[in-house]
Structure 1
Amino acid sequence: MLIESMTRQASIELLKRARVARLGYVHDGQPYIVPMLFAYNVDYLYSFSTEGQKIAWMRADPRVCVEVDDLVTSQEWETVIVLGRFEELPPTEENETLISYAHALIQRRPVWWEPGFVKTIVDGKERPLETLYFRIRIDQISGRRGTPG
Structure 2
Amino acid sequence: MSYILKDLTQAECFAVLEHGRFGHLACCKDSQPYVVPIYFAYAKGVIYSFSMPGRKVDWMRANENVCLQIDQRGTGKGWTSVVVDGRFEEFPDTDLWRSERLYAWSLLQKNTDWWEIGALKPQAQPTGSASAHIFYGIFVRSVTGRTALPVD
Aligned to 1:3: 5
CA RMSD of aligned residues (A): 1.8
> Out of 47, 64, 69, which is 2:66 matched to?
64
Runs of 4+, deviation exceeding 2 Å: 72-75, 113-117
- Using a 3 Å threshold, how does the CA distance of structure 1 residues 46 and 93 change in structure 2: closer, same or farther? same
Instruction: Give TM-score, length-normalised by structure 2.
Output: 0.85
> Out of 101, 105, 118, which is 1:99 matched to?
101
Aligned to 1:146: 148
Query: Mapping of 1:1-149 within 5 angstroms?
Result: 1-73=3-75, 75-114=77-116, 130-149=132-151
Q: Deviations over 1:69-111 (max 9, x none)?
A: 0012564111000000110000111111111111000001122
- What one-letter code is carried by the residue in structure 2 that aligns with 1:54? K
Gaps of 5+ in 2: 120-129
Structure (1 or 2) with the larger CA radius of gyration: 2
CA distance in 2, matches of 1:57, 1:21: 18
Number of residues of Structure 1 aligned to a counterpart in Structure 2: 139
Instruction: Give TM-score, length-normalised by structure 1.
Output: 0.87
Aligned to 1:125: none
- Aligned residues with identical type, % of pairs: 35
- Using a 3 Å threshold, how does the CA distance of structure 1 residues 2 and 49 change in structure 2: closer, same or farther? same
CA distance in 2, matches of 1:29, 1:116: 30
